[in-house]
Amino acid sequence: MSLESLTYATASELSSALHTGKISAVELTEACLNAIATHNSEVNAVITLCEDAAIAEAKAADLQLHNGSAGPLTGVPLLHKDIFCTRNVPTTCASKMLRNFIPPYDATVVSRLRTAGTVMLGKTNMDEFAMGSSTETSVFGVTRNPWDLNCVPGGSSGGAAAAVAAGFAPLSTGTDTGGSIRQPASLCGITGLKPTYGRVSRLGIIAFASSLDQAGPMTRTVEDAALMLQAMSGIDAGDSTSADLEVPDFSAGLNQPVAGLRIGVPKEYFSHNLDEQVAKKIHEALDELVKEGAELVDIELPHTEQGIATYYIIAPAEASTNLSRYDGVRFGHRCENPENLNDLYERSRSEGFGEEVQRRILVGTYALSAGFYDAYFKKAQQVRRLISEDFKKAFEHCDVIAGPAAPGTAFPLGAKSDDPLAMYLEDIYTLSVNLAGLPGLSVPAGLINGMPVGLQLIGRAFDETTLLRMGHRFQLRTNHHLARPTMAGANQ
C-alpha cells in the first residue's frame, strides 16, 4: 500500500492487511505519524503526540499478529480526545486549568481499546472542557477543517473529527454531550456515533454534564464504528451509570437488509433553521434508503424548539457542579501568591478557565441558586421529560428517526465567536437526543460547495444495531464516505 492509501484506508481494510501480513503495525503507525508531522501544523488537530510509545505498542501488536492472538483492532492506530484520562500522558481538556495534569490511570474507554490492541498515537484538540461547537475555545488554538482551512471543524470533538478527515488515523474517540460527536462528524465528512447513555463507561472521562456525556467512536465508516463500539461497550463496576446489559455483536447484523424498516422524518427538523441545500441533501439521502426498501413516515417531535433552552440550563448547571472541584488547592491551575483563600479560589478559577467555560459556570450556578431553582432547573427537567416522551411516541410509528446532523456546513473561523446564541443553535438537531439518552449516528451525505453534510439517524435506547445496519446500508449504496479533503493531497 502507498502512504496515502494507508492513512486513508478504513480500520477494516487495515485489519485485513495486518492479519495477512501485507503491512506491519509498525509500518502503519509510522505512516500515520508521518501524516501528522506533514499536516498537523495546518490543521492543529493533534495536541499531544506519543511517538515512542506508539511505536512500542505497534511492535507489541506485530508480535500478537505473528503468533495468532490478534483481534480485529490489533495494530490499528487511533487518537483519543483529550478529555479521556491517559496514564502518564497529559490530559488537559484543552484548558489552562489542566495544562499540566498527567493522570496516573487510564479511562475505561482507553484501557478497553488498549486491550483490543489499538495503537495510541496521541491526544486531539477540543473545545475547552468540551464546551463549544467549533473547537475555537482551546488553549492550544483553533483546529481547522481539512476541507477548508478557513472553516471550523465543529466541536467539541473537532480535533478528533479533523484528524480522521485529514488522514492522521482511521479511528478516534470523541464525547457527545449535546452533539459533540455528530456535529463535527457532519462538518468533517466522517462517521460519528453517540451511543445510548450508559452503553459506554464514563469512568476517566473528565466530566462536563454527567447526565448527558457519552463517549463514542469517530471513524471513516459505519463498519469501523461497529468494531470500535464493540471494544468500548459494556458495564463497568467503576461507573454506576453504565448499563448492566449484554453487549450485542454490532458487526453481525450490518449486512442485513433494511427493507420494511420505517424511517420517521420529523417536520420540526426541516424548519427555518435548516439550510435549504442541506435539506435537499438529506432528502436525497433518504431517497437512497427508500430504494433499499425502507419506508418514510411523517412524525412530530413537538418540543424540538424547547431543546436548546432546556439543554443550556441543565448542561451548565451540571457543569457548574462538576467544575467546582477546580479550586487551585488539590490539582489544576493555581494562581501565584494568593492573599487569602478567597483570592486563591477567585484568581485560580478566573485564570484557569476560558470565557465560554466561565459563562456556563455562571449560567449553571444561577439556575441552581435557591431563588431560581424551581423556575429554571426544575422546569428544564420537566421539559426534558416531555422531549423524551416525544421520542417514545414517535418510535411507536417508526424504527429510526432521520434528519440533518447540523443546520449547515462548516462556517468560517470566528464567524460565531461573538454570538454565543448563534453558536448554540449549531446543536439544535442533536442535543435533544442527549436529553433523551438515545443513540445517534451521523454519516456523510454528500458535499455542498465542496463542504460535507451529515445525515443523522436516531434510534431507540440501546438499539445501536439498527442504526449501524441502516448507516452501513446507506454507505454501501453511496460513496460519500470515500470523499477526501484536498488539503491532504487527495482527490474529491
Q: What are the pLDDT digits (tens) for 164-211?
A: 999 999 999 999 999 999 999 999 999 999 999 999 999 999 999 999
123-132 pLDDT, tens digit each: 999 999 999 9
- Cβ–Cβ under 8 Å, residues 107 and 151: no
- Cβ–Cβ under 8 Å, residues 153 and 162: yes
382-421 pLDDT, tens digit each: 999 999 999 999 999 999 999 999 999 999 999 999 898 8
Residue 128 forms part of a structural domain = yes
Domain of 257 in residue numbering reads as 3-261+441-488
As for how many domains the chain has, the answer is 1
pLDDT score at 435 = 98
pLDDT score at 366 = 96
d(CA 189, CA 185) in angstroms, rounded, equals 6
d(CA 314, CA 438) in angstroms, rounded, equals 17
Residue 312 forms part of a structural domain = no
Name the amino acid, one letter, at 109: V
Residue 93 forms part of a structural domain = yes
pLDDT score at 486 = 82
pLDDT score at 488 = 42
pLDDT score at 57 = 98
pLDDT score at 6 = 87
Residue 466 forms part of a structural domain = yes
User: For the whole model, what pTM was predicted?
Assistant: 0.96
pLDDT band at 65 (very low <50, low <70, confident <90, very high): very high
Average pLDDT score over residue span 428-441: 98
pLDDT band at 4 (very low <50, low <70, confident <90, very high): low
Q: Average pLDDT over the chain, rounded to whole?
A: 96
- Specify the higher pLDDT residue, 289 or 1: 289
Provide the CATH number for the domain around residue 37.
Answer: 3.90.1300.10
- Cβ–Cβ under 8 Å, residues 232 and 116: no
What does residue 246 show for φ and ψ, rounded to 5 degrees? -65, 135
Average pLDDT score over residue span 226-233: 98
Which are the contacts of 265, defined by CB distance < 8 A and separation ≥ 6? 286, 296, 297, 298, 299, 401, 402, 403
Residue 102 forms part of a structural domain = yes
Q: Does the pLDDT at position 492 exceed 50? A: no
Q: Does the pLDDT at position 489 exceed 80? A: no
Average pLDDT score over residue span 68-80: 97
Residue 59 forms part of a structural domain = yes
For residues 99-128, one letter each, b for 16 or more C-beta atoms within 10 angstroms of the residue's C-beta and e for the rest, the string is eebebeebbbbbbbbbebbbbbbbbbbbbb
Identify the burial level of 311 via C-beta atoms within 10 angstroms of its C-beta, where 0-12 means exposed, 13-18 middle and 19 or more buried: buried
Q: Does the pLDDT at position 345 exceed 90? A: yes
291-323 pLDDT, tens digit each: 999 999 999 999 999 999 999 999 999 999 999
Residue 321 forms part of a structural domain = no
d(CA 227, CA 229) in angstroms, rounded, equals 6
pLDDT band at 7 (very low <50, low <70, confident <90, very high): confident
Q: Going by DSSP bridges, is the β-strand pair 171-175/400-404 parallel, antiparallel, or unpaired?
A: unpaired
Instruction: Give the residue numbers marked as catalytic.
Output: 81, 156, 180
For the chain, the residue count is 492
Distances 169 to 5, 176, 307, 354 between C-alpha atoms, Å:
12, 20, 34, 29
pLDDT band at 272 (very low <50, low <70, confident <90, very high): confident
